[in-house]
């Protein structure tokens, strides 16, 4: 087993947190507002799956945890999880709020001895609001890029990520980091997000397509949010069914690429898939398509979320293992 695993459970969070090896529970069962506690994250996105899924990040060693400077932290001897609420003051620029939050998070990761960021989740309100370079996702990208730059993280160190919008309330950023460097991967079918052309915003999105954390006992693979983007363009704008086919092909291509590059005997096996969709009406069709592709055994978590490009209807992410 790898030193860190991701599993889905329908058991109550308090019960799951009784184990001292649980780094964090990400609770998708209680929609509504962001809620953070000791080793507990409710990201505030509405769950569209019938099962009350909770995502359980487990280590192979006991975990310690605490709260410092508004950042909830927990770590084992190998991996760190940090979570921070994003409160936007009236009239405050989202880019500035994100830059400050990233600055704190990256500073704490480094100070605690886990400078190698593996995976970041970003959830905040009204991601598509605002026009042109003023669109909130583009402002978010500016703040994130500034913070990475200021902290000395170059493109080669960008982690896997997701950035998803919701209907209102506070945002949250949470991340996983390690003491030892992981390997980051791009998708040969896609232009690297950090090389997207200017038309997508003043600063390109700072993330890798996938990140692999290898350990003696195996490896954990983090797939970034993946959508119907080939090259840098959206295919099948606004069409969830068409976008699903392209997105699945992107994921399969990425898994093959990782296996080849990392000299794995086989592509990593996905232990869970999360799907974000803009229109809840598309959930039944999306679920059928995902089941047909991934089979009955892989947990599927469907969440109502806004994708960062307005013409994107769905986005998928996942965790894999070998």
Binding site residues, ligand 3EB, CB under 6 A:
161-163, 193, 205, 207, 224-225, 227, 229, 308
Q: Are 186 and 193 in contact (CB under 8 A)?
A: no
Using the minimum distance from each CB to ligand 3EB, give the nearer residue, 65 or 122.
Answer: 122
Residues 6+ away with beta carbon under 8 Å from 50? none
Question: In the bound complex, which residue of the shown chain has the CB atom lying closest to ligand 3EB?
Answer: 225
Using the minimum distance from each CB to ligand 3EB, give the nearer residue, 205 or 272.
Answer: 205
- Tell me the closest approach of the beta carbon of residue 229 to ligand 3EB, in angstroms: 4
- Tell me the closest approach of the beta carbon of residue 58 to ligand 3EB, in angstroms: 25
Q: Which of 220, 315, 317, 321 is catalytic?
A: 315
Q: How far apart are CA 263 and CA 259, in angstroms?
A: 6
Using the minimum distance from each CB to ligand 3EB, give the nearer residue, 163 or 177.
Answer: 163
Q: Is 168 helix (H, G, I), strand (E, B) or coil?
A: coil
Using the minimum distance from each CB to ligand 3EB, give the nearer residue, 114 or 207.
Answer: 207
In the chain the beta strands, taken as DSSP E runs, fall at 4-9, 22-27, 35-37, 40-42, 54-59, 64-68, 71-75, 79-86, 116-125, 160-166, 171-178, 183-185, 210-215, 218-226, 229-230, 233-234, 269-277, 300-304, 314-321
Nearest to 119 by CA among 160, 147, 156, 78: 160
Q: How far apart are CA 106 and CA 304, in angstroms?
A: 28
Using the minimum distance from each CB to ligand 3EB, give the nearer residue, 205 or 305.
Answer: 205
**Residue 55 is a catalytic residue:** no
Q: How far apart are CA 225 and CA 178, in angstroms?
A: 20
Q: How far apart are CA 43 and CA 229, in angstroms?
A: 25
- Tell me the closest approach of the beta carbon of residue 17 to ligand 3EB, in angstroms: 28
- Tell me the closest approach of the beta carbon of residue 117 to ligand 3EB, in angstroms: 12
- Tell me the closest approach of the beta carbon of residue 8 to ligand 3EB, in angstroms: 21
Q: How far apart are CA 269 and CA 266, in angstroms?
A: 8
Residue with tokens 């070998």: 322
* Residues tagged active-site: 315
């Amino acid at each position: 087993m790898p030193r860190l695993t991701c599993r889905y459970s329908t058991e109550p969070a308090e019960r799951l947190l009784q184990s001292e090896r649980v780094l964090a529970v990400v609770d998708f069962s209680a929609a509504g507002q962001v809620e953070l506690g000791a080793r507990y994250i409710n990201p505030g996105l509405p769950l569209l799956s019938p099962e009350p899924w909770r995502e359980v990040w487990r280590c192979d060693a006991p975990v310690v945890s605490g709260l410092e400077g508004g950042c909830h932290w927990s770590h084992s001897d190998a991996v760190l999880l940090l979570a921070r609420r994003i409160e936007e003051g009236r009239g405050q620029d989202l880019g500035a709020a994100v830059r400050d939050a990233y600055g704190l998070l990256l500073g704490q990761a480094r100070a605690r001895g886990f400078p190698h960021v593996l995976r970041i989740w970003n959830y905040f309100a009204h991601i598509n609001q605002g026009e042109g370079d003023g669109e909130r996702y583009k402002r978010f990208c500016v703040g994130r890029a500034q913070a990475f730059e200021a902290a000395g993280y170059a493109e080669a160190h960008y982690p896997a990520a997701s950035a998803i919008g919701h209907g209102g309330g506070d945002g949250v950023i949470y991340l996983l980091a390690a003491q030892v460097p992981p390997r980051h991967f791009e998708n040969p079918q896609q232009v690297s997000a950090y090389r997207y052309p200017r038309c997508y915003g003043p600063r390109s999105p700072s993330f890798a397509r996938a990140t692999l954390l290898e350990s003696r006992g195996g490896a954990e693979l983090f797939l970034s949010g993946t959508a119907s983007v080939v090259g840098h363009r959206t295919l099948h704008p606004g069409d969830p069914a068409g976008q699903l086919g392209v997105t699945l092909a992107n994921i399969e291509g990425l898994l093959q690429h990782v296996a080849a590059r990392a000299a794995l005997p086989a592509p990593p096996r996905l232990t869970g898939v999360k799907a974000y969709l803009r229109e809840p009406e598309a959930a039944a069709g999306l679920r059928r398509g995902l089941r047909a592709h991934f089979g009955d055994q892989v947990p599927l978590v469907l969440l109502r979320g806004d994708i960062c490009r307005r013409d994107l209807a769905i986005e998928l992410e996942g965790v894999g293992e070998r």
